[in-house]
Amino acid sequence: MLQRLPHLLGIESLNREQIEFFLDQAKPFQEFQRHPLKKLATLRGKTVAIAFFESSTRTRISFTTAASRLGADTMALQAEASSLKKGESLIDTVRTLDAMKPDAIVMRHSSSGAPHFVADRLEIPVLNAGDGTHEHPTQALLDALTIRDRKGTLEGLNVTILGDILHSRVARSNIHLLTKFDAHITLCGPPMWMPPEVEGLAPCLRRVLRIEEAIEGADVVMALRVQTERLHEPALPPDEYIAGYQLTPDRLRLARPDALVLHPGPMNRGLEIDSAVADGPQSCVLEQVTNGLAVRMALLYHLVGGPPADAPHPAKD
């Protein structure tokens, strides 16, 4: 049994026990995705605000579906259609949402720390669905779940992360999480996309320049999405990225034969990942999507779902 968390803002502040608890709690929800009738009444009458101040399709759909399968209603705010365009400040927008009395807010924002800012000012649980280049905790949890399902453990695995580490909140959350399980992390990507403090990020972390060396002996290879808008600042021709860092079948052969391939999506096929790898037997890309639902259902249940009242009758233990 775990002390209930008030929010889920990042992986960095969680301990190993809390992470394991969420991975364990996701198991029944994984199984639930196979039910013919995918609707619970557990959060009936609860409302989850889905506030995305930055565009997103898959994470937003995943959270909305997770809430809906638990029986909650959702209120959606999308950057393109909202009063943000009319210049409203973040806190005013969030307070307006809060005034409609949701029971939790799932939030994505392009500024690092925005969910923390909101969490300090609202009474309801805040779930970080990605903030700037800081954290994307549910992605790291769904990745960990996928890895643990296939490998049986996270302990001491060799995990290689490829691509734009500097701008990647997915990488950051994954590094925080995997480090707590003493995984050996190898980073590889263009030098200007490597954070300057890289080696200081975690103890069991190394940076490797050549992709072949980075992949050799890996248990897990995680290809990050190239945010194509960043190819111009400073200029990096796609050809150069492909030549240096694309995950190809030949390169993947250097990893352990049972190595897993992960990608947070959406994939740029032919840029950071070759189609043959993306669709190959080692790819867990679609499993990651399904696991994302399970992890998000478990988190919403934890943050929004109530514990039992002090019932006068013995409840099931």
Partner 1 sequence: MRIVEKRQLLSAEELGRTLQRMAHEIAEKTGGAKDLALIGVRRRGVPLSQRLAKAIRSFAHVDVPVGTLDITLYRDDLSTVGAQPVVQSTDIEFAVDNRDLVIVDDVLYTGRTIRAAMNGLFDLGRPRRVRLCVLIDRGHRELPIEASFIGRTVQTSDTEIVEVRLQEIDGEERVMLVDRVADSAGAGSGGKI
Please pick, among 34, 85, 86, 232, the residue that the annotation labels catalytic: 86
Q: Has 86 been annotated as catalytic?
A: yes
Q: Which residue in the block uniquely carries the two structure tokens 């969030």?
A: 94
Smallest separation (angstroms) from partner 1 to the CB of 229: 40
Distance of CA 168 to the CA centre of its chain: 11
- The smaller minimum CB distance to partner 1, of residues 264 and 305, is found at 305
Smallest separation (angstroms) from partner 1 to the CB of 19: 15
Smallest separation (angstroms) from partner 1 to the CB of 314: 5
Smallest separation (angstroms) from partner 1 to the CB of 126: 17
Phi/psi-derived region of residue 57, left when phi > 0, alpha when psi is between -120 and 50, beta in every other case: alpha
Would you tell me which residues interact with partner 1 (CB under 8 A)? 1, 4, 25, 27-29, 31-32, 35-37, 39-42, 70, 298, 301-302, 305-317
E-strand stretches of 194-255:
205-207, 220-223
Please pick, among 16, 39, 58, 121, the residue that the annotation labels catalytic: 58
Nearest-CA neighbor of 292 among 132, 86, 87, 57?
Answer: 57
Smallest separation (angstroms) from partner 1 to the CB of 25: 6
Please pick, among 136, 172, 180, 263, the residue that the annotation labels catalytic: 136
Please pick, among 7, 46, 47, 59, the residue that the annotation labels catalytic: 59
Burial per residue of 271-305, b for 16 or more beta-carbon CB atoms within 10 angstroms, e otherwise: bbbbeebbeeebbbbebbbbbbbbbbbbbbbbbbb
Q: Has 109 been annotated as catalytic?
A: no
- The smaller minimum CB distance to partner 1, of residues 226 and 297, is found at 297
- The smaller minimum CB distance to partner 1, of residues 37 and 235, is found at 37
Q: Has 256 been annotated as catalytic?
A: no
Q: Has 184 been annotated as catalytic?
A: no
At residue 227, what are phi and psi to the nearest 5 degrees?
-80, 100
Q: Which run of H or E residues covers position 104? A: strand 104-109
Q: Is 234 exposed, middle or buried (0-12, 13-18, 19+ CB in 10 A)?
A: exposed
Cα 179 from Cα 156, distance rounded (Å): 9
Number of Cβ within a 10 Å radius of residue 144: 26
- The smaller minimum CB distance to partner 1, of residues 5 and 79, is found at 5
Q: Has 148 been annotated as catalytic?
A: no
- The smaller minimum CB distance to partner 1, of residues 152 and 307, is found at 307
* Active site amino acids: 58-59, 86, 108, 136
